Amino acid sequence: MSNANRCHACGGALGKGSLEHSMVVAGHRFVAALPSVRCTQCGQESVSDAALEQFELRVSELLLESGTHAPEALVWFRRSIGLRATELADLLGVTPETVSRWENGKVAPPNTAIVVMGKLAVTRGPKREELIALLRSSAAPRPLAKTVRLSA
């Protein structure tokens, strides 16, 4: 039987702690004290995946709201979405070379690309899938009939 309330390393009792976490993205150092689980015996401390995910989401939100055009922010957004550069190029209707030039800072990315990527990065679950599906449809449009009857 596994005991989630015991330290994996020493079997000691676990308590609540707080761990300073920081991350540098696009030249900015983001810092937060994240809730952690701490072993009262050996002192081993860890932050939950959920807390880390929340931290990264907040970093994305702040970058998006700042209106940054930093190439590192684009890379951050893309990785956060879990897309390869070629997949992102397809979604945005540009060539992989274009995405590459944006990401290595050779060409300034258009603000539309940054906002779309940032919005995808801060949107999770079905809403993100919906947005990706819209980008896919727009990249490969299907003809809409001349007359379209709407269901009542």
- Count Cβ atoms within 10 A of the Cβ of residue 144 and give its class: 0-12 exposed, 13-18 middle, 19 or more buried: exposed
Q: 13 or 24, CB closer to Zn ion?
A: 13
Q: 12 or 17, CB closer to Zn ion?
A: 12
Shortest Cβ distance from residue 20 to Zn ion (Å)? 20
Write out the residues near Zn ion by the rule CB under 5 A: 7, 9-10, 12, 39, 41-42, 44
DSSP state of 140: S
Shortest Cβ distance from residue 13 to Zn ion (Å)? 9
| DSSP letters for 33-52 | EEEEEEETTT--EEE-HHHH
Q: 44 or 46, CB closer to Zn ion?
A: 44
Shortest Cβ distance from residue 99 to Zn ion (Å)? 45
Shortest Cβ distance from residue 86 to Zn ion (Å)? 44
Q: Which two tokens mark 76? A: 């951050």
Q: 41 or 46, CB closer to Zn ion?
A: 41
d(CA 63, CA 81): 14
The answer to whether 19 touches 45, Cβ cutoff 8 Å, is yes
